[in-house]
Amino acid sequence: MMQAAVRIFAEKGYQAATVRDIVEAAGVAIGTFYFYFPDKETLFVHLYEETADFLLQTIGQSLNSRATMPKQYQTALNAYVNIAVYEPAIIQLLLIGGVGAVPALEEKRAAFRERLTQVWQRPLLQALDKNQIAAQNDRRTAEALTGAFDEVILNLLKQPDPGEDASNTVHDMTQFAIRATAYRGE
């Protein structure tokens, strides 16, 4: 039911999606839905939290698997792009879904955005400690990278075959991060 709900919300948007759409797509009875969730909003917020945790964990693990900032960004961006290409509904849910339509989600969305910024900030802090990037406001740089990466991902998903350009996209975003941070050493 959860996977069906993510797909329905991505396809129809929060406002147009109905509980009936979700249960029909999942092949379950409407009573099953109400056994687990009191309403559509509760389900949506739950899905948002679950998918946010999944994305953050995946990107974070990718960052941790490499030693240098360029490799960290490359590996993490590759993970992000792969999720976008193979599970676009997750990206749709996290970056677009429910904006302004689900008041209970605003605090969760702010927390997700903060955590995502912190994930992208970690390599910057490490590179600053090693004097591998120019002195800068690492928080503002991380915020800018977060927004830029998300925008590129959303535009990639608008292409007829996002997977076709996935590796070029990862390369371009990695190079952008290196240039934007004035990275100067391995």
For the chain, domain boundaries: 40-180
**Rg of the chain on CA atoms, in Å:** 18
Query: What is the spatial distance between Cα 105 and Cα 185, in angstroms, rounded to a whole number?
Result: 41
Query: What is the spatial distance between Cα 85 and Cα 113, in angstroms, rounded to a whole number?
Result: 21
Place of tokens 């800068």: 136
SS3 for 92? Answer: helix
Q: How confident is the model at residue 186 (pLDDT cuts 50, 70, 90)?
A: low
Give the model confidence (pLDDT) of 11-25 as tens digits: 898 889 999 999 999
Tokens in use for 33?
């839905």
The CATH homologous superfamily for domain 40-180 is: Tetracycline Repressor, domain 2 (1.10.357.10)
List beta partners, residue 41: none
Give the model confidence (pLDDT) of 106-121 as tens digits: 899 999 999 999 999 9
